[in-house]
Every structure is written in C-alpha cells, then in structure tokens.
A = this chain, B = another copy of it.
Amino acid sequence: MEATKLKKSKQRDAILSFLKTRKDHPTADTIYENVRKDIPNISLGTVYRNLALLTDIGEIKKLSFDGTSDRYDAETSPHCHFRCRNCGKVIDVEVDGVLEDILSHAKVPGQIDEQITVFIGTCEQCMDKY
C-alpha cells in the first residue's frame, strides 16, 4: 500500500514476461515452475512476493475462484472470465460495452475501482464428453 522505490529485478522481469506469454491465467505455482527454467534457484516465495507487488502496482490482475489457487492475468484491459466447473479452465470473455453499462447502472455506496465478472458453467469440450 505504501509508496516505496522499486528496484528492478530479473526475477520480477522474468515473472512478468512469462505471464505475458500466457492467456490461460496460470497459478503462482505454474509460474514458478516455468520461470524456474530460466532462473533455476528462484523461490516460490519470491514468485508470490512479486505477483503481489505487480498486482499492487496494477501491472497484472489477480483472479480468485472458488476453493482453488489464485490465478494471475497480464491482460489488464476490461474483460470477463468464464470458468469451467468440470475442468477448471479459465478463459477470457469479451463483453464490449456491457461493463461500462453495468457500472453506470450499479448503485453502490462507495467508489468503484474495479469490477470482476465471472461466468461459471461447463465449457464446450466438457459438454461434448457427456
């Protein structure tokens, strides 16, 4: 929360650039396993610390879902997510205009900084299986 001078770190850079290559909202652990290929002795704690820091400064977004691990997203423009109850997959959903709409209709006792919309259901692949 406090303004503190940022120093660059190769760990943070590696975490952010890895995250930018992915559109599937990986967990901290997946990020760890991947960044490790470049920086073998990076620790999971460092991954968590940097993800928290990047989230604080708005470079990335943290997505929390029911029960499971938090996921991270380098795409910060307004969009929604769809999560498959069956396979756990999380994908982006474009809903152009509707977010602004919902914001203008919502009577909220406070100031809104951010809005999260998640659709939950069954994805096409999983529906095909049954």
Contacts and interface: CB of A to CB of B under 8 A. Distances in A.
A57 interface: no
A76 interface: no
Q: Quick one: copies of this chain in the complex? A: 2
Interface residues of A, number: 42
Contacts of A84: 110
Contacts of A114: 119-121
A42 interface: no
Contacts of A112: 82, 119-121
Contacts of A62: 66
A117 interface: yes
A106 B113 CA distance: 22
Interface in A94-130: 94-98, 101-103, 105-124, 126-127
25 contacts: A64-B65, A64-B67, A67-B70, A82-B112, A91-B109, A93-B107, A98-B101, A101-B101, A103-B119, A108-B121, A110-B123, A110-B127, A111-B127, A112-B119, A112-B120, A112-B121, A113-B120, A113-B121, A114-B119, A114-B120, A114-B121, A115-B118, A115-B120, A116-B117, A117-B118
